[in-house]
């Protein structure tokens, strides 16, 4: 039996990891979910089927967030399927570790294209499309002083700045704009992209002495897009276990 879903959310980069956890959680909370993905359609389709099996409502939408036209089409898909958009979770990102001295142009350009320009494209489109009473949440990261994350952390610092400014620019629209800053999360992409000694060291640098998990991050996002977070605006919620 399907739940009565009345609000609509787009989650970018939602086919796995934190994005998938967010899609599952907000579907449980009553959102019709648009699962954005790039590359293989199978993980996104499997997630949509899982949400539908659990009584939710979900569709998939392929879009490379670094391409403005693709982002516009993703919003078109949401509006055509459900009539509008009430929440946008700006999650799509890539992370490549390298010291600043060793970061080549390709590594820099790829991360900026997805993490910063992609986030900007989604925020810009959301500013035009999200309905009154809606919300926009971007994912950031708490790795500001961690070596080998310079380019990645810089893109996320820029996203936090865009978040603060957009919250002011949407004044009077009854739309909240926030960010969730996560610490290192033990998702498949993180575990695959780091050698065991780095994973162990990273876990120890957290005051809780462990990596985070996707579901608490999803809960933080659900709080911001739900009625309990309606008065939170222009903020960065640091769901990072106490990391600096």
Global pTM value:
0.93
Q: What is the residue range of 61's domain?
A: 7-183+215-238
Indicate which residues carry an active-site annotation.
152
- Residue 14 in 3-state DSSP? coil
Q: Tell me whether residue 125 is in a domain.
A: yes
Q: pLDDT tens-digit profile of 129-171?
A: 999 999 999 999 887 667 888 999 999 999 999 999 999 999 9
Q: Tell me whether residue 205 is in a domain.
A: no
What's the total number of domains in the chain?
A: 1
Q: Tell me whether residue 210 is in a domain.
A: no
Q: Tell me whether residue 243 is in a domain.
A: no
Residue 176 has pLDDT above 70, yes or no: yes
Q: Tell me whether residue 66 is in a domain.
A: yes
Residue 3 has pLDDT above 60, yes or no: no
Res. 240 pLDDT band, cuts 50 70 90: confident
| Residue 152 and residue 143 in contact, taking contact as beta carbons nearer than 8 Å | yes
Q: Tell me whether residue 1 is in a domain.
A: no
Find, among 89, 100, 37, 98, the residue nearest to 63 by Cα: 37
Share of the chain above pLDDT 90, in %: 77
Res. 193 pLDDT band, cuts 50 70 90: low
CATH of the domain at 117: 3.40.50.720
Q: What is the pLDDT of residue 165?
A: 98
Q: Tell me whether residue 46 is in a domain.
A: yes
């Amino acid at each position: 039996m399907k739940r009565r879903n009345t609000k609509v959310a787009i989650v970018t980069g939602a086919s796995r990891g934190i994005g998938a956890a967010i899609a599952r959680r907000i579907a449980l909370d009553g959102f019709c979910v648009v699962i954005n993905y790039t590359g293989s359609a199978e993980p996104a389709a499997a997630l949509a089927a899982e949400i539908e099996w659990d009584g939710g409502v979900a569709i998939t939408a392929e879009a490379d967030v670094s391409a403005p036209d693709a982002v516009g089409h993703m919003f078109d898909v949401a509006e055509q399927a459900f009539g509008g958009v009430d929440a946008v979770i700006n999650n799509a990102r890539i992370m490549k570790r390298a010291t600043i001295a060793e970061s080549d142009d390709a590594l820099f350009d790829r991360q900026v294209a997805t993490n910063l320009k992609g986030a900007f494209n989604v925020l810009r489109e959301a500013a035009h499309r999200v309905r009154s009473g809606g919300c926009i949440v971007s994912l950031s990261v708490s790795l500001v002083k961690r070596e080998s994350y310079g380019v990645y952390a810089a893109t996320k610092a820029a996203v936090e700045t865009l978040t603060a400014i957009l919250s002011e620019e949407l004044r009077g629209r009854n739309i909240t704009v926030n960010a969730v800053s996560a610490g290192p999360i033990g998702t498949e992409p993180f575990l695959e992209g780091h050698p065991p000694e780095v994973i162990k060291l990273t876990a120890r640098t957290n005051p809780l002495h462990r990596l985070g998990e996707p579901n608490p991050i999803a809960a933080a996002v659900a709080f911001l897009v739900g009625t309990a977070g309606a008065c939170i605006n222009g903020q960065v919620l640091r769901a990072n276990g106490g990391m600096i």
